[in-house]
């Protein structure tokens, strides 16, 4: 899940997790809540990575968008927040009651940290989940 200004990060993570069959991305359009048919996609997912950027954080100010995000970013054990373009802020806890329960990454973490966090979330939700392709070289994160 990302805002338009985190498109490069979305592409990077897609390349990093390229061997995953069920990888999907969702662009949060400013002012547009997540439609019900897309909400089901989030409910079925084993891990949700939220790319926190200025545009996505601004969308928190739109009540309908915030409500739809609060609904799909559940349960908290399957959400990973990645700060790319914004810093941690106490206000986020006011938007999402489970904010502190989400796994946290930042733009300067190593690629292995991104993979490790996602794999941990997936394995906690499904003990039989595979490890994926870890033998290929990992690309560096966007600058």
The domain spans of the chain are: 4-125
Of the candidates 1, 4, 16, the one whose C-alpha atom is nearest the C-alpha of residue 140 is: 16
pLDDT tens per residue, range 71-119: 999 999 999 999 998 999 888 999 999 999 999 999 999 999 999 999 9
Architecture of domain 4-125: 3-Layer(aba) Sandwich (3.40)
Chain mean position to CA 48: 5
User: 110 by DSSP, 3-state: which?
Assistant: coil
Check residue 11 and give its pLDDT: 93
Q: Pull the structure tokens for residue 24.
A: 């999907």
DSSP code, position 2 = B
pTM comes to 0.84
pLDDT tens per residue, range 20-57: 777 889 999 878 999 999 999 999 999 999 999 999 99
Check residue 110 and give its pLDDT: 93
pLDDT tens per residue, range 10-25: 999 999 987 777 788 9
Distances (CA, A) of 90 to 39, 42, 94, 96, 97: 26, 25, 7, 11, 11
d(Cα 142, Cα 79) in Å, to the nearest integer?
Answer: 22
Whether residue 44 contacts residue 126, with contact meaning beta carbons closer than 8 Å, is answered with no
Residue 142 has pLDDT above 80, yes or no: no
**Confidence grade of residue 126 (pLDDT, cut at 50, 70, 90):** low
């Amino acid at each position: 899940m990302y805002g338009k200004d985190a498109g490069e990060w979305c592409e990077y993570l897609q390349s990093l997790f390229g061997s995953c069959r069920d990888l999907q991305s969702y662009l949060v359009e400013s002012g547009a809540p997540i439609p019900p048919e897309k909400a089901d996609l989030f409910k079925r997912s084993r891990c949700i990575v939220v790319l926190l950027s200025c545009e996505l954080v601004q969308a928190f100010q739109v009540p309908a968008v915030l409500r739809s995000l609060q609904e799909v970013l559940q349960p908290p054990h399957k959400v990973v927040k990645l700060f790319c373009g914004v810093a941690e802020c106490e206000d986020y806890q006011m938007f999402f009651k489970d904010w502190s329960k989400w796994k946290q990454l930042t733009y300067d973490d190593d690629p292995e940290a991104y993979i490790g966090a996602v794999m941990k979330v997936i394995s906690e939700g499904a003990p039989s989940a595979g490890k994926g392709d870890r033998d290929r070289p990992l690309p560096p994160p966007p600058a």
